[in-house]
Structure 1
C-alpha cells in the first residue's frame, strides 16, 4: 500500500466487463511530508474520494481481491481516505 493524493479523474464510457460504475481517479504517490513519491497511478475508487484528498492505495493482487465476486482488470484501488496521520521523527 502507499499514501497518495488525488490529482484528477479519468472518464471512460467504454470499459471492460466488471468495471461498469467504477470511478477512476489519478493518484500521485506521496511520502509522509507530502512530497511526490513516484509516477501517478490510475486507481479504482468505491469509497468516494475527491480531488485533493489524501488516500491509501492498495496495488496488485490485494487490489483485485476486493472485487472477489468479479474478475476485473484492476491493479490499484483506493482503500481509505486519510483523515490524519502522525509520524515520529528521529
Structure 2
C-alpha cells in the first residue's frame, strides 16, 4: 500500500466487464511530508474519494481481492481516505 493524493479523474465510457460502476482516479504517490514519491497511477475508487483527498492505495493482487469471485483488471484500488496521520521525526526518542 502507499499514501497518495488524488489529483484528477479519468472518464471511460467503455470499460471491461466488472468495471462498469467503478470511478477511476489519478493518484500522485506521496511521502509523509507530502512530497511526490513516484509516478502517478490510475486507481479504482468505490469509496468516494475526490480531487485533493489524501488516500491509501492498494496495488496488485490485493486490490483485486476486493472483488469476490470476479476477474477484474484492477492494478490499484483506493482503500481509504486519510483524515490525519502522525509520524515521529527521526530525532525523537533519542
CA distance in 2, matches of 1:68, 1:41: 23
Structure 1 gap segments, 5+ residues each: none
Calculate the TM-score normalised by the size of structure 2. Answer: 0.94
2:57 aligned residue? 57
Alignment of 1:40-51 (within 5 A): 40-51=40-51
Distance apart, 1:66 and its partner CA: 0.5
Structure 2 gap segments, 5+ residues each: none
Distance apart, 1:69 and its partner CA: 2.9
Alignment of 1:16-31 (within 5 A): 16-31=16-31
Matched, 1:15 2:15: yes
User: What are the superposed Cα offsets for residues 37-67 of structure 1, whole Å, 9 maximum, x if unpaired?
Assistant: 0000000000000110000000000000011
Calculate the TM-score normalised by the size of structure 1. Answer: 0.98
Aligned length: 90
1:39 aligned residue? 39
Secondary structure in 2 aligned to 1:62? helix
Distance apart, 1:70 and its partner CA: 1.4
